[in-house]
Amino acid sequence: MAVSAAGEKYRCEICGNEVVVTKVGGGTLVCCGEDMTLLKGE
């Protein structure tokens, strides 16, 4: 899933790392070899 907005929060479903986007640069966030999951409503 491509990053689309600052403030979005993503989680790695494998290790549990979470990141918050501060600047959109395009592309996708990957951790442990898998795309990270966008968290909605957090």
Q: In the prediction, which pLDDT does 42 show? A: 63
> Would residue 30 count as lying in a domain?
yes
Per-residue pLDDT of the chain (42 residues; tens, 9 = 90+): 799 999 999 999 999 999 999 999 989 999 999 999 999 876
User: Residue 31 belongs to a domain with what CATH number?
Assistant: 2.20.28
Q: In the prediction, which pLDDT does 26 show? A: 85
Task: Please enumerate in sequence order all residues whose Cβ is within 8 A of that of 6, keeping only pairs 6 or more positions apart, or say none.
Answer: 21, 22, 23, 24
d(CA 22, CA 14): 23
Using CB atoms within 10 A of its CB, is residue 36 exposed (0-12), middle (13-18) or buried (19+)? buried
> Would residue 24 count as lying in a domain?
yes
Query: What's the predicted TM-score (pTM) here?
Result: 0.87
Phi, psi (rounded to 5 degrees) for 2? -75, 140
Number of domains in the chain: 1
> Would residue 3 count as lying in a domain?
no
Q: In the prediction, which pLDDT does 41 show? A: 72
Residue 9: C-alpha distances to residues 12, 42 (Å): 11, 7
Q: In the prediction, which pLDDT does 17 show? A: 98
